[in-house]
Amino acid sequence: MTHGKNICNQLKEVRKRIAEENDIPLEIEECTYKGECRGTCPRCEAEVRYLENALAERLRLGKVATVAGLALGLAATTVQAQAPATAPAKIERTQHELSLMADCVTVRGMVRDSKTKEEIPFCRIHIVDYKTHVDIDTVVNNGFKGNFAIRVPKGEYYIHVHHIGYKEGGGRKWTIDKDTDIGDILLEQGVVPVIEVGGVESVPLSTTPPGHEDYYQGVGGAEIIVR
């Protein structure tokens, strides 16, 4: 099992236990995505928001919201005075996102230096909803190459790419209604020169598994460090 899938499965188990402990209806569908992932996706994030709102609702109704410990050894913790800080307005967005679970497609691309055409690794790629300007997701492309791949609901997006030493790239609107390869995103060098990320890797997080060079690594989050 790939590293990202392993993370996803463990996080899924956490969500499942929270839902079960608190009588929150949550249908966790089997992920049909094939290939490397980074352990989370818009669908997984939407489930977390859904659970947060459901727990907040329990607290508002005077019920106990129990956030259970996992097999990592934690005891169940009863949360009474600690409502998750989630605004009610997010409920609507979460339901919308849940409804889009079955409509996710893959967006691929490659980030290159505009002058040398060399691939640029460790970029932050922001996927922004064209209509709402909401940042749907931010990924980091493959640790040692410039290619990236991300699952998003069908829709219209801006795709912005950032990297230290370069001006922001991308920025145009994309209509994504099927698996799409947006080709090369060229970054123009900025004031700060490109910093080559070097060093030693003693854990497998940034190593691309053979046969999965197309996909970004499962490190999650907005940015990456070399570990």
Partner 1 sequence: MEAVPFIGIDRHRLGVDGVGVTTLAAFHGCPLRCRYCLNRRCLESPDGLPRYTPQQLYDHVGIDNLYFIATGGGVCFGGGEPLLRIDFIEAFRALCGKSWNLTAETSLQVPAESVRRACAVVGDFIVDIKESDPDIYRTYTGGDASRAWDNLRLMLSLVGPEHVTVRIPLIPSFNSEADTDRTADRLADLGVTRLDRFTYRVQ
> Contact between 164 and partner 1 (CB under 8 A)?
yes
Closer to partner 1 by Cβ: residue 96 or 227: 227
Give the separation between CA 134 and CA 137, rounded to whole angstroms: 9
> Contact between 177 and partner 1 (CB under 8 A)?
no
Q: Per DSSP, which regions of 33-103 are E strands?
A: 65-67, 77-79
CA distances (Å), origin 129, targets 125, 133, 138, 144, 225: 13, 5, 12, 28, 26
> Contact between 217 and partner 1 (CB under 8 A)?
no
> Contact between 52 and partner 1 (CB under 8 A)?
yes
Q: Are 205 and 179 in contact (CB under 8 A)?
A: no
Give the separation between CA 42 and CA 44, rounded to whole angstroms: 6
For partner 1, the binding residue among 1, 61, 72, 87 (CB under 8 A) is: 72
The number of residues that bind partner 1 (CB under 8 A) is 49
Region class of 217: left (phi > 0), else alpha (psi between -120 and 50), else beta: beta
Q: How far is the CB of 131 from partner 1 (least distance, A)?
A: 22
Q: Are 104 and 43 in contact (CB under 8 A)?
A: yes
Stretch that binds partner 1, among 78-86, 87-95, 98-106, 145-153 (CB under 8 A): 78-86
Contacts with partner 1 by CB under 8 A lie at 6-7, 10-11, 14, 17-18, 38-40, 45, 48, 51-52, 55, 67-70, 72-74, 77, 79, 82, 84-85, 164-165, 190-192, 195, 197-203, 219-227
